[in-house]
């Protein structure tokens, strides 16, 4: 799992870099729920990343899942947490 955590962190950092979002990314794997949790510290851009009714956050979560699938060849459940 450590390799997958590293891959997901790299993918997330690249995505936010392309979005020109200055964020800190943390990734962990929750074995109990079999889910990857991506914690984003966004500071002033928290609201922008969450979006109206969480629509932007959901889109980011879906894009990360697709990018992760392309890198690893496996589908995994990924949850993105912005601003706690």
pLDDT computed for residue 68 by the predictor: 96
pLDDT at 1 over 90: no
Give the Cα separation of 80 and 45 in Å (integer). 15
Can you give the pTM of this predicted structure? 0.89
Bridge partners (DSSP) listed for residue 35: 30
pLDDT digits (tens, 9 = 90+) for 18-49: 998 899 999 999 999 999 999 999 888 888 89
Q: Where are the beta strands (DSSP E) in the chain?
A: 24-30, 35-41, 78-82
Out of 20-24, 51-55, 60-64, the most confident range is 60-64
Sign, CA dihedral 1-32-74-79, equals negative
Domain 2-82 has CATH 3.40.50.620: no
Domain ranges of the chain: 2-82
Q: Which residues pair with 9 in a beta bridge?
A: none
Question: Can you tell me the mean pLDDT for 50-79?
Answer: 94
């Amino acid at each position: 799992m450590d390799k997958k955590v590293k891959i997901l962190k790299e993918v997330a950092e690249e995505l936010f870099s392309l979005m020109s979002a200055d964020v800190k990314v943390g990734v962990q794997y929750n074995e109990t729920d079999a889910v990857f949790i991506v914690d984003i510290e966004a500071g002033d851009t928290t609201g922008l990343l969450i979006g109206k009714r969480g629509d932007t956050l959901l889109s980011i979560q879906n894009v990360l899942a697709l990018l992760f699938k392309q890198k690893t060849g496996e589908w995994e459940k990924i949850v993105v947490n912005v601003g706690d």
